[in-house]
Amino acid sequence: MKISSQFDGGSIEVVSCESPDNIQVKIPKDNQSEFYQWFYFRLSGVEEQACTIKFLDLEKSAYPAGWKDYRAVASYDREHWFRVPTEFDGDTLTITHTPGLNSVYYAYFAPYSTERVSDFIASLQHSPLVDTQVLGETLDGQDMDLLTIGEPGEGKKVCWVIGRQHPGETMASWWMEGFLERLLDDSDPISREALAKAVFYVVPNMNPDGSRRGHLRTNACGANLNREWQTPSMERSPEVFVVREKMQQTGVDFCLDVHGDEALPYNFIAGAEGNPSWSERQADLQKQFTDALKIASPDFQTEYGYPLDAPGEANMTVCTNYMADAFDCLAMTLEMPFKDTVDSPDEEEGWSPDRCRRLGEANLNAILSVIPNL
Cβ nearer to Zn ion, comparing 169 with 253: 169
Q: Are 274 and 321 in contact, with CB atoms under 8 Å apart?
A: yes
Considering the complex, state which of residue 31 and residue 365 has its C-beta at the smaller distance from Zn ion: 31
Can you point out the beta strands (E) in 138-253? 143-149, 157-163, 198-203
Containing H/E element for 322? helix 319-327
- The answer to whether residues 282 and 318 touch, using CB atoms and an 8 Å cutoff, is no
Strand pairing partners for 198? Answer: 157
CB of 346 to Zn ion, least distance (A): 22
Stretch that binds Zn ion, among 180-188, 253-261, 288-296, 320-328 (CB under 5 A): 253-261
Q: Single out the segment in contact with Zn ion by CB under 5 A; choices: 57-65, 165-173, 322-330, 348-356.
A: 165-173
How many residues interact with Zn ion (rule CB under 5 A)? 3
Sign of the alpha-carbon torsion through 289, 294, 297, 303: positive
CA neighbor of 24 nearest in space, from 49, 52, 44, 48: 52
Find the part of the chain contacting Zn ion (CB under 5 A) among 162-170, 181-189, 202-210, 358-366.
Answer: 162-170
Instruction: Report the residue number, 169 or 228, with the smaller CB distance to Zn ion.
Output: 169
Q: Which residue, 182 or 259, has its beta carbon nearer to Zn ion?
A: 259
- CA nearest neighbour of 217 among 16, 32, 6: 32
User: Quick one: which of 164, 259, 355, 357 contacts Zn ion (CB under 5 A)?
Assistant: 259
Q: Least distance (Å) from Zn ion to the CB of residue 293?
A: 18
Least Å from the CB of residue 263 to Zn ion? 12
CB of 85 to Zn ion, least distance (A): 27
Q: Smallest gap, in angstroms, from Cβ of residue 166 to Zn ion? A: 4
To Zn ion, the closest distance from the beta carbon of 259 in angstroms equals: 3
β-partners of residue 300 are 267
Residues annotated catalytic, as ranges: 335
Taking the C-alpha atoms of residue 374 and residue 369, their distance in angstroms, rounded to an integer, is 10
Q: Which is nearer to Zn ion, 63 or 76 (CB)?
A: 63
Q: Helix, strand, or coil here: 294? A: helix
Query: Is the Cβ of residue 25 or residue 62 nearer to Zn ion in the bound state?
Result: 62
Dihedral sign, CA of 7, 10, 16, 18?
A: negative
CA dist., res. 137 & res. 158, Å (int): 24
**Region near Zn ion per CB under 5 A, out of 192-200, 233-241, 244-252, 254-262:** 254-262
Per-residue binder mask for Zn ion (CB under 5 A), 62-101, x = binder: ----------------------------------------
Q: Which is nearer to Zn ion, 172 or 183 (CB)?
A: 172
Whether residue 160 contacts residue 256, with contact meaning beta carbons closer than 8 Å, is answered with yes
Nearest alpha-carbon partner for 346 in 106, 71, 105:
71
The CA distance from 204 to 89, in Å, is 36
Q: Is 166 in the site for Zn ion (CB under 5 A)?
A: yes
Least distance to Zn ion from the beta carbon of 169, Å?
Answer: 5
- List, in sequence order, every beta strand (DSSP E) within 204-282: 254-261, 268-270
Planar angle of CA 281, 285, 289, nearest 5 degrees: 170
Can you give the binding site for Zn ion, defined by CB under 5 A? Answer: 166, 169, 259
